[in-house]
Structure 1
Amino acid sequence: MSTSGRPNFSEDTLQVLLDAFDPKRTLEADLLAIWPIIRDGVDQDVHEFWRPFGGRNTPYRLDQDEIAELVRRDVRYTELKFTGGLNAKLIAKMVRRGRASSKDRATEIAFTAGLLRSYHARHQRLFKAFVADPATLTRLTQSLYTLYALENSVLLNGAALQRADQELADAAEQRSKLQAIDRSQCWLEMTTDGIIVSANDNFLAAMGYSLKEIAGRHHAIFCFEEDRVSTEYAQFWESLRAGRFMQQEYRRRTREGADVHLQATYNPILDQDGRTVKIIKWATDVTAMRLAERKESDRAHRFRLEAETRRAAHQDTLAELADIVDNIGAVTRQTSMLALNASIEAARAGERGNSFAVVANEVKALSGRIKDATVQASAVLNLGQRSFGT
């Protein structure tokens, strides 16, 4: 293992491989002797290796050009294994092939099975060449399968490295996501019986507790008395234990007895058999938002009351004005009658009534102007009444 905690397989392990698979350091010479015997069939071996990976009906969907390129490179790689010597560069190639094989379990199996088929085919050619020389056949066969064992070991280790790297990357991503949630939300971990196991700082701050004060106690400490004893609360826990996800806004009680509003999800955590093993609560404190909504609602209510008060006062004023206009109208009618009577009397008096007639005409003109003003006032009054729906 490296100091970073991840598996390590690098050039430094070449010596370990040689000590394990070629302690007498005879493998390279044997592989050089094997190569001329197996060389003519390598192209076919490599084609057979890659055949399961080609075509639209396979999971890998490699086309003919891609297969041809892989075969070309693999033929060269096979030659290096037998003629280039066991060196760090060759081991690195084996590791990369192992990493490539770790795409999924099926790919890894296909790689290892294809590798074994290739070595069996090469052993058949070796057997035909040395069937009359059992001692040489035995020695070279052992070296051939020693190379297979070494390559397969490195291949599997490369696959393990790739999986380990992916697991580390996934774990780092998961930690990052959890840290982001932890920074922005409240969470509470409980047993299936509602006993508190742990909580983050956001939750503790919202509820006014320390972790020491709540660990080992029941979730009910965050509920008001009417909620704790309710049938709904008992059914709530029955649903969670049954594995049902719960989500809504909940009113909860702080350590000091104040209201806290939490938009929360209660998440049953299941084991491999589908049994609920714990409950995780994720929540967002929406108390400030609810208080702001309540404050805005109160302000709107006050505004409506003030508007109603102003409306009532305005209606009272309009009513008073209506009375005044009616009175003025009555005076106008009476003044018009007086002017008419005065004109009649002036006419009866002849020349002696000339001065009286002048006064009667002025009264009549004044009455007309008052009538016009009364009509205008009535129109304005009607407009005001209509604007208030009266």
Structure 2
Amino acid sequence: MTITKTSNFNEDDVRDLRLAFDPDGTLESDLREIWTVIKDGVDEDVRRFWRPFAGDATPYHLGQDRIDDLVRRDIDYTELKFTGGLSQKLVGKMVRRGRASSMDRATEIAFSAGLLRSYHARHARLSAALTGDPATLSRLTHSLYTLYALETSVLLNGASLQRADQELADSAEHRSKLEAIDRSQCWLEMTIDGTIVTANRNLLSLMGYTMTEVAGRHHSMLCSPEDRASQDYLDLWANLRAGRFVQREYRRRTKGGAYVHLQATYNPIFDQHGSVVKIVKWATDVTAMRQAEQTESARAQQFHQEAETRRKAHEDTLSKLAEIVDDIGAVTRQTSMLALNASIEAARAGERGKSFAVVANEVKLLSSRIRDATATAANVLTYGQQSIRL
């Protein structure tokens, strides 16, 4: 069981305890007298006290070694209670036991019940030893249960100190978390009808308002007229009044008329009866991110348009080249026909047409080379046109 070593609150002062529980100053001597009678049974008292905390079947999962250690320490503590006198050291031990008992309500009950059983067992031994001396038994019984009342009071105070310190620590942690959020985010607190109660500096700075300008006015002042009149805005407040939180991105308008984008969560706050009593909005400014997205989108669109323009220009160029290739092909075919006709005429002319036949043959070879080049160019153009379509 973990207990707090230091406290922000004060433990009981031994002087106050003396005044309350031992005004006659006889308690310490009576307790020492009681110890001589009950000490032989203290070991069993203490073991019986710690028995409910031992083993894996309990919520505490204390092993036997741990229980044995607690028993030894508890025996020393019990002896100190009866023989060491009422001191601030003893009060400190009682307070620490009270802190340890405050882990949960079941532990508090187990501590209280175990302590009462221990005192009853000691009273039984005291009664058995003093059956023939009722006056002494009455006096010592009073002192025994005075110690019980004192110890119970200090234990309860220790438990209260532990809870108070824990609540203080939880409160400090909660406050620290809220301060961290306040530094990094925008927030706005409103009534359930949308009236602004307060806002942090981040939101006011982002929207361009002062607290005086927004306090007491409706949240719709932060919206454009079209957003304010939209069904989406009406649904937002209907959901919030019904106790449903809403989270999404919203567009809001600043005092200067500029638009900002907020990733916001609107949270209904409930009272102890489950009724919505206020609305708190937490938001992060994502305007820069949205503007960057719009800029990138515009760039992408411009790039696409430029690429389409280049594609069309390239396609037009290829189309014109294809026409030229077709014209060259037609000329080649005509040249081939002329070479063929020239060859025929040279053959008819016999010896006189030999020189003419040489020219006709050269024309024919040139026509063949032009035809091959034209076919190659046509294939290249076809591939280029197909790649553009892809």
Matched letter for residue 210 of structure 2 = S
Counterpart CA distance in 2 for 1:131 and 1:218 is 82
1:274 aligned to 2:274? yes
Counterpart CA distance in 2 for 1:140 and 1:151 is 16
Counterpart CA distance in 2 for 1:60 and 1:277 is 40
Counterpart for residue 302 of structure 2: 302
Offset of 1:344 from its aligned partner? 1.2
Counterpart CA distance in 1 for 2:272 and 2:105 is 20
Deviations 1:10-60 (A, max 9, x none): 7xx233323332233322211110001111221222122122223333322
Offset of 1:180 from its aligned partner? 1.4
Which is worse superposed, 136-145 or 224-233?
A: 224-233
Which is worse superposed, 224-233 or 174-183?
A: 224-233
Offset of 1:5 from its aligned partner? 9.8
* Contact 2:31-2:83 within 8 A present in 1 as well: yes
Counterpart CA distance in 1 for 2:76 and 2:125 is 19
Which is worse superposed, 133-142 or 219-228?
A: 133-142
Counterpart CA distance in 1 for 2:202 and 2:328 is 74
Counterpart for residue 387 of structure 1: 387
Counterpart CA distance in 1 for 2:375 and 2:239 is 75
Deviations 1:174-202 (A, max 9, x none): 11211111111111100111111111111
Counterpart CA distance in 2 for 1:44 and 1:141 is 20
Counterpart for residue 3 of structure 2: none
Classify the secondary structure of the residue corresponding to 1:193: coil
Counterpart for residue 7 of structure 1: 9
- For 1:258-337, list aligned pairs within 5 A: 258-337=258-337
Counterpart for residue 37 of structure 1: 37
Counterpart for residue 100 of structure 2: 100
* Contact 2:7-2:161 within 8 A present in 1 as well: no
* Contact 2:208-2:255 within 8 A present in 1 as well: yes
Counterpart for residue 141 of structure 1: 141
TM-score w.r.t. structure 2 length?
0.94
- For 1:11-30, list aligned pairs within 5 A: 13-30=13-30
The sequence identity of aligned pairs, in percent, is 70
Matched letter for residue 303 of structure 1 = F
Counterpart CA distance in 2 for 1:277 and 1:51 is 49
Classify the secondary structure of the residue corresponding to 2:389: coil
Q: For the structure 1 residues 5 and 114, does the alpha-carbon distance in structure 2 shift closer, same or farther, using more than 3 Å as the test?
A: closer
Classify the secondary structure of the residue corresponding to 2:160: helix
CA RMSD of aligned residues (A): 1.8
Classify the secondary structure of the residue corresponding to 1:59: coil
Offset of 1:357 from its aligned partner? 1.5
TM-score w.r.t. structure 1 length?
0.94
1:57 aligned to 2:57? yes
Q: How many residues align?
A: 385
Offset of 1:213 from its aligned partner? 0.6
1:81 aligned to 2:81? yes
Counterpart CA distance in 2 for 1:211 and 1:108 is 49
* Contact 2:322-2:378 within 8 A present in 1 as well: yes
Deviations 1:101-145 (A, max 9, x none): 111122112212221221122122222222332332222122212
Offset of 1:371 from its aligned partner? 1.2
Matched letter for residue 9 of structure 1 = E
Counterpart for residue 367 of structure 1: 367
Offset of 1:251 from its aligned partner? 1.2
Counterpart CA distance in 1 for 2:199 and 2:134 is 72
Counterpart for residue 378 of structure 2: 378
Q: Unmatched 5+ residue regions in structure 2?
A: 1-5
